[in-house]
Amino acid sequence: MADVTEYENYINGEWVKCRSGETFENRNPAQTDEIVGIFQQSRAADVNDAVAAAKEAYKKWRLVPAPKRAEILLRITDRLVKEKERCSRDMTREMGKILKETRGDVQEAIDLGYYMVGEGRRQLGYTTPSELPNKFNMCIRQPLGVCGLITPWNFPMAIPSWKMMPALVLGNTIVIKPATDTPLSVYNYVKIFEEEGLPRGVVNIVTGSGRNVGEPLMTHKDVSCVSFTGSTEVGRRISEACAADFKHCHLEMGGKNCIFIMNDADIDLAVEGALWGAFGTTGQRCTASSRLIVHRDVIKEFTDKLVARANGLKVGNGLDETVDMGPAINESQINTVLNYIDIGKNEDGAKLLCGGERLTGGEYDKGFFTMPTVFGDVTSDMRIFQEEIFGSVTSITECASFEDGIGLCNNTAYGLSASIYTRDVNKAFAAMRDVYTGIFYVNAPTIGAEVHLPFGGVKDTGNGHREAGIAGLDVFSEWKSVYIDFSGKMQKAQIDNN
């Protein structure tokens, strides 16, 4: 215990303990006897301090020329390149996903960082003619003020970067509350911000629970924008809380993503995609491929091959480079997954094809490990077809035709990501048009979004916003339309030009 580091909040450019002095432990989900760090169990008073600092810092930060703001973000991102391996290892220790994936997570923050650096010299508004003589019209982006960011544990650095970088390049200041399971990754990121000279108060980190930190942050009167990634249930609460004060509110929530495998697909490629889409990040992605909708002509071949591959995956500690799949994030999550496995086993007609249990014995007893699990003969009325599991479980559903398959893809409350495997370009384009999601892939699984395209979903997945890409700027800025009349006369729009 003695050599476990205690990490502090970062408020107004100082590392400080929370006011109550309470702390919580961050444990390695692959090896729960390892404490990764001790973090501040903050409360409303700490949130108030951080928001006050961010509000004060905003006065100056919004006036720093955007290219200058971007220069700091460039230095931060260059540093992150150098710190990638350390940050990836820390992330595997606190989150569990395998090193290859945590390196990808940090890389996603690097990619997004460089992309947003470019926005320092863009943030394009537009000019447009006026309807009146000697008058000039344009619209520009304006920052919002203090942004409250509430980030999840499954992409502990990538998702914070999706929110922090656009917010900062636009001239906002930030209070971020990382997930309690993965505060170290955000700490590592923010530490670089500090070391690379971001002015005090521009970024503040307050760790603690949703109730103690998230709630006071999202209801704080000086917070202008809340950006949240997490469950649909929590997102709904945040949406209601923000509505009272008309705060900008960006929500990125659940998914029940499907891969649709047509009878003309390259089956080996589809199996590869399904395996990666379903069991990458132990299935703990909003974009995970948790429904596999397969044309009946190829369902047997696909199922046999997928089950063989799933059985061959090596589950274990993500720091071991030979491991394919790490643990679930925590006790409660593994219990949710095991509960859904039970639900699947008890569904009338569903067949457990592989996995279906917690892994025990030896090192497994120290962590939250489950087997990669595949259910067959799943129909659209079943809970395992409809509900987000967020774990190493996927399901196979038979379809009779292209139209039937599209109907099944859309038969869900969520709308984040979907994909089709087919060699028929007509089918690929029709599916792209008719499947109702924010992200769509052809001949690739439902995961693998790149940072310069909008990320987000429809229906219960989102509330109409997107992050990353140019669309990500909309969350953290407001349009201002500017009219400059140089006629020297009192001109009246809509009236003088009749």
390 belongs to the binding site for ligand UN1 (CB under 6 A): no
Report the residue number, 276 or 436, with the smaller CB distance to ligand UN1: 276
Interacting residues with ligand UN1 between 75 and 114 (CB under 6 A): 108
Q: How many residues sit in the footprint of ligand UN1 (CB under 6 A)?
A: 9
Contact 39, 26 (CB under 8 A): yes
Dihedral pair phi/psi, residue 419, rounded to 5°: -150, 160
Least distance CB 14 / ligand UN1 (angstroms): 32
286 belongs to the binding site for ligand UN1 (CB under 6 A): yes
Q: Please count the residues of the chain.
A: 498
Report the residue number, 107 or 411, with the smaller CB distance to ligand UN1: 107
**Cα 410 to chain centroid, rounded:** 22
Least distance CB 426 / ligand UN1 (angstroms): 26
Dihedral pair phi/psi, residue 129, rounded to 5°: -65, 155
- Which one of residues 7, 58, 155, 441 is an interface residue with ligand UN1 (CB under 6 A)? 155
Give the orientation angle of helix 66-82 with respect to helix 99-119, to 10 degrees: 160
For residue 54, the SS3 value is: helix
Closest to 438 (Cα-Cα) out of 464, 411, 456: 456
State yes or no: is 252 an active-site residue.
yes
- CA torsion 480→58→106→359, rounded to 10°? -100
For residue 440, the SS3 value is: strand
DSSP state of 38: E
Interacting residues with ligand UN1 between 332 and 361 (CB under 6 A): none
x-or-dash string of contact with ligand UN1, 225-264, rule CB under 6 A: ----------------------------------------
State yes or no: is 409 an active-site residue.
no
Interacting residues with ligand UN1 between 428 and 447 (CB under 6 A): 447
Token pair listed for 380: 């659209």
Report the residue number, 9 or 257, with the smaller CB distance to ligand UN1: 257
Can you say whether the dihedral through the CA atoms of 265, 267, 272, 274 is positive or negative? positive
Q: Which parts of 196-328 fold into alpha helices (H)?
A: 215-219, 232-245, 267-279, 299-311
Report the residue number, 448 or 454, with the smaller CB distance to ligand UN1: 448
CA distances from 30 to 27, 315, 318, 441 (A): 9, 10, 8, 32
449 belongs to the binding site for ligand UN1 (CB under 6 A): yes
The one catalytic residue in 94, 252, 398, 467 is: 252
184 belongs to the binding site for ligand UN1 (CB under 6 A): no
- Which one of residues 13, 125, 407, 448 is an interface residue with ligand UN1 (CB under 6 A)? 448
419 belongs to the binding site for ligand UN1 (CB under 6 A): no
Pick the stretch among 60-68, 266-274, 281-289, 425-433 that binds ligand UN1 (CB under 6 A): 281-289
Residues forming contacts to ligand UN1 in the complex (CB under 6 A) are 108, 154-155, 285-287, 447-449
Enzyme catalytic residues:
252, 286
